[in-house]
Amino acid sequence: VAYDKKFAGYLTIADSIKEDAQKAINELKALHVKATMLSGDKPSVVKYIADTLGIENAYGDLLPEDKVNKVKEIKARNQSVAFVGDGVNDAPVVALSDVGIAMGGLGSDATIETADVVIQDDKPSKIPMAINIGKQTKNIVWQNIILAFGVKAVVLLLGAGGLATMWEAVFADVGVALLAILNAVRIQRMKF
């Protein structure tokens, strides 16, 4: 900034760390998820943010193709990759990753369209929440599969022995489907 043709000072414009970023990183670590930061920002800024949040691997000054190459390196080690991005430069990496996550509040249209998951309020703490919801959903799906096969196997054996009637067969089909739906509804009451 100049005043009366003399240097008066300067303005520094930079993104700030999101309020819940530290919470998100801590919860990801508790879930044994390894966080890596890939950024187009200057390496000094990236290092500061990574050190502040406790991210071990951080790379700065990356162009979109550099981010793609880093993700390919990680995937080559047989590791699953979820990439979180918001800028138009992140769209190729979001598309390449196993799970592409876009920050939808301020994210670019290209990244949002490419993403598998869109976080509408731009809160990083929603990422560990989504992982926990996925784990609970998987548990419920397995419970339902075991329940369905177990009941059907028992009714099939009883039917082969002449001990099961049509009503047991109806229960094994419709009743088990209803029980599976009721079991799945439980996830709506769970706190994440």
Burial (CB < 10 A; 0-12, 13-18, 19+), residue 13, is exposed
Q: Look at residue 8 in the predicted model and tell me its pLDDT.
A: 94
Q: Is residue 9 included in any domain, yes or no?
A: no
Residue 25 sits in the same domain as residue 115: yes
Residue 4 domain-assigned? Answer: no
- Please check whether residues 113 and 163 belong to one and the same domain: no
Decide if pLDDT at 15 tops 80.
Answer: no
* Predicted pLDDT at 14: 73
Total of domains in the chain: 2
129 near 192, Cβ under 8 Å? yes
> Are residues 35 and 114 both part of a single domain?
yes
- Domain end residue (candidates: 74, 100, 124): 124
Structure confidence by residue, pLDDT tens digits, 45-83: 999 999 999 999 999 999 999 999 999 999 999 999 999
| Cα distances (Å, whole numbers) of residue 131 to 11, 108, 176, 192 | 39, 23, 28, 10
Q: Are residues 25 and 120 in the same domain?
A: yes
Q: Tell me the whole-structure pTM to 2 decimals.
A: 0.79
Q: Which domain holds residue 168?
A: 131-189
Q: How confident is the model at residue 16 (pLDDT cuts 50, 70, 90)?
A: confident
